[in-house]
């Protein structure tokens, strides 16, 4: 299982993935960031992981969609050269296009080989700034979700989820810190599941959504 991590920021989740991967037989072949100053690049390099910045460049002589295609083509070619078969998103702040996701589809399994971590109990609070969304809404319980990536925004089938409480004395920073600890734990759990391959997608009754079911050992 050859994995490329994609990250746009500090890279704490990326480092968590890098350090846990050898324990479950996952090979991290590289980390891509779209941000030249992303500390995730340094974290990867410090762990002897190839790290590269492939920035999104906006050229107003072209459409945004054309620039997006050029950017994703560069990403895909880099991955193809390194025989990447899975992508782990760890704070990557660009939405991947359907055409890119299709390159990593597993049609027979019903999911892509792209995984994301989202800081909420999906389907609640999808999209950007999920911790702030949850905090502002006044919820007493929030969480995080590791899910397969599909063509929607945070709509792919959940692999693992867990929750944490909002305490009365919490600041937003306390709330986020507690959530990050859950994120690190969940990505490890998801890596355990994916590395073993002992799972399937199951329909949610009365919905067009699916969830991951872990196959029990005989």
Q: What is the CATH number of the domain that holds 81?
A: 3.40.50.170
Residue 216 has what pLDDT? 63
9 alpha carbon, distance to own chain's centre: 13
Q: Give the pLDDT of the chain (218 residues) as one tens digit per residue.
A: 999 999 999 999 999 999 999 999 999 999 999 999 999 999 999 999 999 999 999 999 999 999 999 999 999 999 999 999 999 999 999 999 999 999 999 888 889 999 999 999 999 999 999 999 999 999 999 999 999 999 999 999 999 999 999 999 999 999 999 999 999 999 999 999 999 988 888 888 888 888 788 876 54
Burial class (CB in 10 A: 0-12, 13-18, 19+), 69: middle
Could you tell me the sign of the dihedral formed by the alpha carbons of 131, 137, 138, 144, in that order?
A: negative
Categorise residue 84: left if φ over 0, alpha if ψ from -120 to 50, beta otherwise: beta
Look at residues 148, 153, 76, 47 and name the one whose alpha carbon lies nearest to residue 106.
148
Looking at 60, 71, 111, 118, which residue is catalytic? 118
Domain count within the chain: 1
Q: What pTM was computed for the model? A: 0.94
pLDDT at 194: 95
- Establish whether 60 is a catalytic residue: no
Q: Is 170 exposed, middle or buried (0-12, 13-18, 19+ CB in 10 A)?
A: middle
CA distances from 95 to 83, 101, 157, 202 (A): 22, 10, 17, 25
Residue holding tokens 């909420």?
A: 120
Range of the domain at 137: 2-214
Q: What pLDDT score was predicted for residue 14?
A: 98
Q: Which two tokens stand for residue 115?
A: 């995984």
pLDDT for res 211:
78
Q: What is the DSSP letter of 205?
A: T
What is the per-residue pLDDT for 206? 82
Whether residue 44 contacts residue 63, with contact meaning beta carbons closer than 8 Å, is answered with no
């Amino acid at each position: 299982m050859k994995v490329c991590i994609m990250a746009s920021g500090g890279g704490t989740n990326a480092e968590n993935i890098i350090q846990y991967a050898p324990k479950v037989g996952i090979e991290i072949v590289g980390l891509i960031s779209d941000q030249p100053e992303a500390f995730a690049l340094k974290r990867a390099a410090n762990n002897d992981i190839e790290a590269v910045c492939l920035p999104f460049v906006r050229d107003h002589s072209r459409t945004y969609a054309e620039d997006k295609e050029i950017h994703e083509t560069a990403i895909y070619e880099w991955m193809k050269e390194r025989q990447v078969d899975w992508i782990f998103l760890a704070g990557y702040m660009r939405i991947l296009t359907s055409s890119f996701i299709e390159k990593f589809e597993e049609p027979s399994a019903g999911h892509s080989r792209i995984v994301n971590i989202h800081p909420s109990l999906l389907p609640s609070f999808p999209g950007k700034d999920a911790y702030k969304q949850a905090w502002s809404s006044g919820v007493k319980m929030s969480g995080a979700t590791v899910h397969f990536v599909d063509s929607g925004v945070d709509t792919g089938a959940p692999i693992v989820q867990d929750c944490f409480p909002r305490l009365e004395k919490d600041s937003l920073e306390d709330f986020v810190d507690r959530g990050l600890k859950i994120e690190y734990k969940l990505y490890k759990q998801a890596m355990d599941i994916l590395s073993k391959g002992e799972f399937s997608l199951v329909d949610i009754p009365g919905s067009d959504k699916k969830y991951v079911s872990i196959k029990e050992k005989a």
